[in-house]
Chain A
Amino acid sequence: MNSEIKSIWTGAAVLALLVYAGAAFAQPLGVPPPGAEGSSADGGLPPGGPPGGPNGPPGGGPPGAGGPPSADAAASLLAVPPLPADAPQPSPDPHNFDGTWYHEALLQFQITTDMFGNKAPFNDAGLKVQQRRVKSLKTGTPFINASALCIPMGQPWQMDLNMPFHIFQSKDRLDFAFEEYHGLMQVIMDPAKALPAAYMGSSVGHWDGDTLVVETTSFKDGLWLDVDGTPTSKNAKLTMRIRKVKSDHWFLEVEFTLDDPIYYTHPWSWMRDYSWRPDMTLFHEYNCELQTGAKDGVDPSLVPEPRD
């Protein structure tokens, strides 16, 4: 099978799992003591919520995975027409990333190689986790993961799935607001003001010429890099080198570098790009907690991943 057809097979299979998380945590999510985490003034209360903290239904079981898209959904997700000729263009300023961006390329099911075509440099521990997850798909008992629970699942997954994001840029930071999972990543330009540990990690940025270098550490849990579960540990350091490029269209080019000695023998990198799409500014709603927050909201096809 030539590589082009193979990539189509892969791409389409991937597309089917586009929103189907179908997998579990690298390790069971450490549940922080109630009220200890989160620093919003309302302590996690929804607006108009009851005094003394919300008391949800007991049990609160594992949340559901995303379901696979229908043929119609796949068509509308895949089929991205070219931007209208009269669409506004981004600022020519290479340091201005403000706007709506979208990962147009077919989702990569499993990041098996780095950007140079070398195999992802798993060590024994990493390979064990990765193989366990791939096997879980084959046995029909995929693992629960952050995406399935609808809690933040880290930048690679968040930025791989084919849904748009906004960048709101101000002088102190860049806010990336994602349609999927109503996700949010804030890149802080002053290291002294870095945010605390988070599921999305804590991201600090600086400019290297026209490239924004975003370094993310302090992940609260390991990540799934892709829908197949290529792992990171919570000690991972993720670097994104981002620059704005114009070819036949404007896009952000991102070089992801993962430095995670727990699972890999050395740091390795892969590339993604995100098209400027002002025609994706108005987002679809992603009210996943309506399901994953219910005690019976777990997708029954998912199972907890064994601890290492």
Chain B
Amino acid sequence: MNITGAARSPSSIGWALCLAMAAAVLPARAPAADPVNLEGTWKISAPQLAFRPEGGSIPFTDIGRKRYAQNKSNLAKRAYEEYDYATARCASPGLPRLMLTQGRFRIWQRRGWVGFQFEWNRLAREVDMGNLTQPQLRVAANSLFGQDDVIVGRAVPISKGHWEGDTLVVATEGFQNNTLIDNLVPHGYDLKTTERIRLQGANTLEDRITIEDPRYFTRPWQTVVTYQRQPDDPFPENVCLVTRTTEGAAVKP
């Protein structure tokens, strides 16, 4: 409908506008080509601080076991600054830890990519589905930022995704080494994760995560997290630096 500036009676313009707007402002939907629509607002089914490994225990290397023990000892002393910048500073928890958020997140499916918007501290992650406009200037390998990402990694790298039937398969690598897998488990630069994300029924989302880092684990190990669909309500502003309970909040000048 073409709304022009031509003079019309106010009430008919009003109705016309209402109808036009209702029709025009369609809810954003997953691209028609996607096999499944994962869009919506999700929240972890069972809050947990640590991933539960399938098989019962995490297959640590000696280095991994030692670091894990150090982290546990620091946790007991609440010495978060020694090993957990997310807790100590509100730094990005990184992946896959961000998938343990006890807040909500929203999935947006768009042409060429999938976005996750987290309630916690307004963080986000992106999955490159492979047919985006190139070059992607903010992360191009020959851009300053792109170079930095390659050199030292990111807490939340850009993931690469593709569909396998009804499952979104998401591969992530290029991590910095200053985050944790969850609240305690260490990792290094060589961490790689593979997530298989799919719906279980209409209102449950499942993320099956495979974690691989030969320096810290003798073999890849898996864990599963599920989320329940929530109403698509907006997220009230969440600013970790302001809400965290520390002896001295960062914002005191």
Interface, chain A (partner B; CB < 8 A): 24-25, 28-29, 31-32, 34-35, 37-51, 53-63, 70, 72-73, 75-76, 80-81, 83-84, 87-88, 93-96, 98, 144, 149-152, 163-164, 166, 168-173, 175, 177, 179, 182-184, 186, 188, 193, 195-196, 198-200, 207, 209-210, 277-285, 287, 289-290, 292-295, 297, 304-305
Select B27's contact among A80, A170, A281, A292, beta carbons within 8 Å: A170
Select B21's contact among A63, A95, A297, beta carbons within 8 Å: A95
Select A151's contact among B85, B137, B239, beta carbons within 8 Å: B239
> Is A293's CB under 8 angstroms from B89's CB?
yes
Known: A50-B80, A61-B248, A151-B251. 15 other contacts (CB 8 A): A50-B87, A50-B183, A55-B80, A56-B80, A72-B144, A96-B26, A209-B3, A280-B137, A281-B132, A282-B158, A283-B126, A289-B92, A292-B250, A293-B91, A293-B240
| Residues of the B chain whose Cβ atoms lie less than 8 Å from the Cβ of A54 | 80, 87-88, 90, 244-246
> Is A294's CB under 8 angstroms from B89's CB?
yes
Task: Give the distance to chain A from B23, nearest Cβ to Cβ, in Å.
Answer: 9
Write the chain A residue with the least CB distance to B113: A281
Name the segment of B62-70, B93-101, B189-197, B198-206 touching the other chain: B93-101
Task: Give the distance to chain A from B193, nearest Cβ to Cβ, in Å.
Answer: 15
Select B88's contact among A40, A56, A164, A207, beta carbons within 8 Å: A56
Contact A88 B108, CB 8 Å, known A40-B103, A50-B75, A280-B137? no
| Residues of the A chain whose Cβ atoms lie less than 8 Å from the Cβ of B134 | 84, 279
CA distance A140 to B171 in the complex (A): 46
Write the chain B residue with the least CB distance to A56: B246
| Residues of the B chain whose Cβ atoms lie less than 8 Å from the Cβ of A200 | 237
Contact A149 B91, CB 8 Å, known A48-B49, A95-B25, A282-B128? no
Asked whether any CB of chain A lies closer than 8 Å to the CB of B50, the reply is yes
| Residues of the A chain whose Cβ atoms lie less than 8 Å from the Cβ of B251 | 29, 31, 60, 62-63, 149, 151
CA distance A67 to B101 in the complex (A): 30
A-side interface mostly: loop
> Is A297's CB under 8 angstroms from B250's CB?
yes
Write the chain B residue with the least CB distance to A51: B49
> Is B253's CB under 8 angstroms from A25's CB?
yes
Task: Give the distance to chain B from A149, nearest Cβ to Cβ, in Å.
Answer: 6
Select B248's contact among A60, A70, A72, A287, beta carbons within 8 Å: A60
> Is A40's CB under 8 angstroms from B235's CB?
yes
Interface size bracket, B side: 35 or more
Interface hits, B104-124 → A, CB 8 Å? 104, 106, 108, 110-113, 115, 117, 119-124
Write the chain A residue with the least CB distance to B236: A39
B-side interface mostly: loop
> Is A292's CB under 8 angstroms from B136's CB?
no
> Is A177's CB under 8 angstroms from B91's CB?
no
Task: Give the distance to chain A from B36, nearest Cβ to Cβ, in Å.
Answer: 18
> Is B253's CB under 8 angstroms from A44's CB?
no
Task: Give the distance to chain A from B138, nearest Cβ to Cβ, in Å.
Answer: 5
| Residues of the A chain whose Cβ atoms lie less than 8 Å from the Cβ of B154 | 285, 287
> Is B120's CB under 8 angstroms from A283's CB?
no
| Residues of the A chain whose Cβ atoms lie less than 8 Å from the Cβ of B234 | 173, 175, 186, 188, 193, 195
* Subset of 30 A-B contacts with CB under 8 Å: A24-B253, A38-B239, A40-B102, A41-B43, A42-B103, A45-B87, A48-B86, A55-B78, A57-B89, A60-B250, A61-B252, A62-B251, A80-B137, A84-B133, A93-B25, A96-B24, A163-B138, A171-B26, A172-B232, A173-B234, A196-B236, A280-B137, A281-B132, A282-B126, A283-B126, A285-B154, A285-B155, A289-B240, A293-B250, A295-B250
Q: Which of A25, A63, A170, A183 has the most CB of B within 10 A?
A: A170
Asked whether any CB of chain A lies closer than 8 Å to the CB of B172, the reply is no
> Is A171's CB under 8 angstroms from B27's CB?
yes
Task: Give the distance to chain B from A117, nearest Cβ to Cβ, in Å.
Answer: 26
> Is B89's CB under 8 angstroms from A290's CB?
yes
> Is B133's CB under 8 angstroms from A210's CB?
no
CA distance A252 to B89 in the complex (A): 36
Per-position 1/0 for B127-141, Cβ under 8 A of A? 010001111111100
Write the chain B residue with the least CB distance to A53: B245
> Is A46's CB under 8 angstroms from B25's CB?
no
Asked whether any CB of chain A lies closer than 8 Å to the CB of B207, the reply is no
CA distance A21 to B112 in the complex (A): 34
Write the chain B residue with the least CB distance to A285: B154
Contact A47 B97, CB 8 Å, known A96-B25, A170-B28, A279-B133? yes
| Residues of the B chain whose Cβ atoms lie less than 8 Å from the Cβ of A70 | 144
Asked whether any CB of chain A lies closer than 8 Å to the CB of B17, the reply is yes
Interface hits, B46-93 → A, CB 8 Å? 47-50, 75, 78, 80-81, 85-93
| Residues of the B chain whose Cβ atoms lie less than 8 Å from the Cβ of A34 | 243-246, 249
> Is B93's CB under 8 angstroms from A47's CB?
yes
